[in-house]
């Protein structure tokens, strides 16, 4: 059952990704609405989400969904929920920056079982199932190396539109920046977390960027399956809310956590 869910979700991510690729090359940058002052949504966010739901519904008609654009869709199959961010990195998509993804996760109760993060422009499917390992397309991922702090390339999602949250992030940057090889904020949380599993980034953290479960769920499964440690900023590996996050090699996670929390 879970194998079939994984395959169907991969197909759904692939189809939604094809749609985004087309929109990106065509008119994706023109048509958009606002959910808030700097919170944009395009026709493609919505179209990609309905493509995903339709595809998964066709094989699993009773499954529940939690999607960024459609909210909660109840299912009579109460065990599983498919968590969907149809376009993670809408701001990049709108500005023509080629860094965005389709993110799909599956939970069973409180457990995160499956994670898929698809970069449609590079045709890179990052996926993982608990116990089956993590993959980039067909290549199995191994645990990335633990670089020393001075060699680490660290990614983050920065807060926006909130003075308090921005102030905290700036303090964290002040402490971390002089100690590491570089900090990046590319703009798709799902990709940044999955890339940390892949070893493209040595770590990811975020606090105050109002990340939701659909932003991080799929990436977390991938990062965990490559042996990364995933906690919130207090060090809790199973928090009720994932609105703060630290992902790193187990041998670097504590040091990073200490830096980020040493903001006074
Ligand atoms: P989204 O593109 O799906 O909205 C980037 O910092 C991360 O924060 C992305 O995962 C992005 O997801 C999320 N995010 C949510 N609202 C945002 C906003 N108003 N501006 C920038 N990023 C936002
Ligand atoms: Ca959004
Ligand atoms: Ca998102
Ligand atoms: Ca989104």
For ligand 1, is residue 160 a contact (CB within 6 Å)?
Answer: yes
pLDDT at 7 over 70: yes
Q: How much is the pLDDT for 189?
A: 98
In angstroms, what is the span from residue 258 Cα to ligand 1's centroid?
A: 26
Average pLDDT, integer, range 24-47:
82
pLDDT tens for 186-243 read 999 999 999 999 999 999 999 999 999 999 999 999 999 999 999 999 999 999 999 8
- The DSSP-derived string for 29-44 is TT-EEEEETTEEEEHH
Q: How much is the pLDDT for 27?
A: 73
Dist. CA 139–CA 42, nearest whole Å = 33
Domain ranges of the chain: 2-140, 149-261
In angstroms, what is the span from residue 49 Cα to ligand 3's centroid?
A: 12
Residues in the 5 Å CB sphere of ion ligand 2: 90
For ligand 1, is residue 40 a contact (CB within 6 Å)?
Answer: no
SS3 121: coil
Count of residues in the chain: 264
Average pLDDT, integer, range 141-156:
97
pLDDT band, residue 77 (cuts 50/70/90):
confident
Ligand 1 atom closest to residue 161's alpha carbon, by position in its atom list: 19
In angstroms, what is the span from residue 86 Cα to ligand 1's centroid?
A: 12
Average pLDDT, integer, range 35-41:
83
Average pLDDT, integer, range 1-13:
96
pLDDT at 30 over 80: no
Dist. CA 49–CA 219, nearest whole Å = 18
pLDDT at 31 over 80: no
Q: Which fold has domain 149-261?
A: D-Maltodextrin-Binding Protein; domain 2 (3.40.190)
Average pLDDT, integer, range 47-65:
97
Superfamily in which the 2-140 domain is placed by CATH: Fructose-1,6-Bisphosphatase, subunit A, domain 1 (3.30.540.10)
- Same topology, domains 2-140 and 149-261? Answer is no
pLDDT at 124 over 70: yes
pLDDT at 253 over 60: yes
pLDDT band, residue 33 (cuts 50/70/90):
confident
Residue 229 CA, chain-centre distance (Å), reads: 15
For ligand 1, is residue 38 a contact (CB within 6 Å)?
Answer: yes
SS3 128: strand
Unique residue bearing structure tokens 């002089």: 178
31 and 3 Cβ atoms separated by less than 8 Å: no
Give the CB-side neighbour count of residue 177, counting CA atoms within 13 A: 9
Q: How much is the pLDDT for 197?
A: 98
Give percent of the chain with pLDDT exceeding 90. Answer: 89
Q: How much is the pLDDT for 1?
A: 86
């Amino acid at each position: 059952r879970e194998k079939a869910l994984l395959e169907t979700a991969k197909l759904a991510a692939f189809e939604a990704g094809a749609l985004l690729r087309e929109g990106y090359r065509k008119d994706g940058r023109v048509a958009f609405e606002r959910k808030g002052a700097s919170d944009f949504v395009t026709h493609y966010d919505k179209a990609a989400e309905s493509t995903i739901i339709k595809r998964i519904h066709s094989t699993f008609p009773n499954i529940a969904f939690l999607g960024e654009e459609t909210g909660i869709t109840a299912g009579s199959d109460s065990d599983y929920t498919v968590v969907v961010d149809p376009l993670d990195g809408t701001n990049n998509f709108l500005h023509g920056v080629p860094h965005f993804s389709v993110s799909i996760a599956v939970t069973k109760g409180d457990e995160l079982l499956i994670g898929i993060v698809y970069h449609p422009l590079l045709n890179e499917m990052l996926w993982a199932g608990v116990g089956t390992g993590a993959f980039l397309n067909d290549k199995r991922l191994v645990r990335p190396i633990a670089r020393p702090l001075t060699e680490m390339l660290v990614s983050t999602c920065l807060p926006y539109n909130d003075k308090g949250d921005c102030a905290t992030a700036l303090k964290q940057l002040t402490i971390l920046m002089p100690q590491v090889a570089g900090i990046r904020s590319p703009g798709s949380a799902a990709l940044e977390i999955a890339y940390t599993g892949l070893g493209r980034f040595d770590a990811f953290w975020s606090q105050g960027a109002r990340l939701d479960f659909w932003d991080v769920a799929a990436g977390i499964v991938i990062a965990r399956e490559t042996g990364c440690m995933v906690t919130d900023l207090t060090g809790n590996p199973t928090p009720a809310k994932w609105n703060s996050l630290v992902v790193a090699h187990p041998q670097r996670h504590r040091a990073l956590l200490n830096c980020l929390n040493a903001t006074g």
